[in-house]
Homo-oligomer: A and B are copies of this chain.
C-alpha cells in the first residue's frame, strides 16, 4: 500500500502536487503530471478512501435498511438500489432490521459515525423523532414516514381497491381478506381499502391475520375456509400469503379459481410458477428502488433540502387464480 508521500518522493514533487493530479484539480504542468502518473503506476498507488473520508466528511456510501432480505419482495429492491448507486460511485450497505426499532437505531448510529452519506429505509417503526437529527438525506421507501422525509411509495389503497373491484366484477360474492402485519402501513392501507369496499357494497367483512408470511397465510386460510365455507374470494395482502392460501385450498380440496378466487399483491416472480398462476396487483418493485436511489442521490449531490414524495401506481396482472 503505497501512500501519497511515497509517490511524491518518487516523482520528486510535493504531496500537494500529487493530490492535484489524482484529483485533477488546480494547475499542474504537463511534464510534472506525467512524472507523477508514472510514479503512481510504478508504485501501484491507490488513494486511501479512509483518509479522504476523514478530511471530506463523506464516505461515498449509503445505508439501506430493510426488514428482511429473505422476503422475496426485497431482493429486487436491493438490486435496483445497487444498480443506480454503484455506477454513481457509491457503495451501499445493507441491513436487515427484522422490524426491530432498537436494531434500526443502533445501525443508524453506527453508520453515522462512518460518515455515511445517506439512507434509504423501509421501516414502519422509525418515526420523525428518531430521524430528525440524522444530518444526512433520508428516503423512505415503500412505507411513508413523515412529510419532512422524502418518500417513494405505491398507492396501496388504490391498488387494493382495484383488486377487489376486479374480484367483484368477476362475480365474487363473499370476499375474505388475509391481512399483513397490523402495524405495517402498506398492510393497513390494503386492509382499509378492503373494508371500505365491503361496506360500500354491503358485504360482510372477514379478516384474518397472515403477517405477510407463507406459513401463516396457509394456516389462516385453513381456518378461514373451514369456518366459512361460503367464501368464494380471498384477497391476500401480499403474494407470499396468497401462495400460502393456494396451498391451503389445494390441501382442502377446494378448486381455485372455480370454487375460490385468490388475489395477491406485489407481483413477485414466484407467483408465476404456482398452479394456477397467481392473479395479482403488481407493484413496480424495481422502479421503486431505482427512484429511491435516484432521489437520494439528488439530495446528496444537489439539494439536501429538496424533499419529494413520489406515489407510484400498481397495475393489475391478470393470470389464473381469479375466476
Contacts and interface: CB of A to CB of B under 8 A. Distances in A.
A275 interface: yes
A111 B93 CA distance: 12
A320 to B, nearest CB: 12
Contacts of A270: 270, 273
A224 to B, nearest CB: 18
A76 B75 CA distance: 11
A243 B46 contact: no
Number of copies: 2
Interface stretch (A48-56, A139-147, A190-198, A303-311): A48-56
Interface stretch (A112-120, A156-164, A173-181, A294-302): A112-120
Given A54-B54, A274-B274, A69 B72 contact: no
Contacts of A273: 214, 243-244, 246-247, 270, 273-274
Contact of A93 (B46, B93, B96): B93
Contacts of A75: 69-70, 72, 74-75
Contacts of A113: 46-50
13 contacts: A46-B109, A49-B113, A50-B54, A50-B59, A51-B54, A69-B69, A69-B75, A79-B96, A86-B95, A93-B93, A244-B273, A246-B273, A270-B270
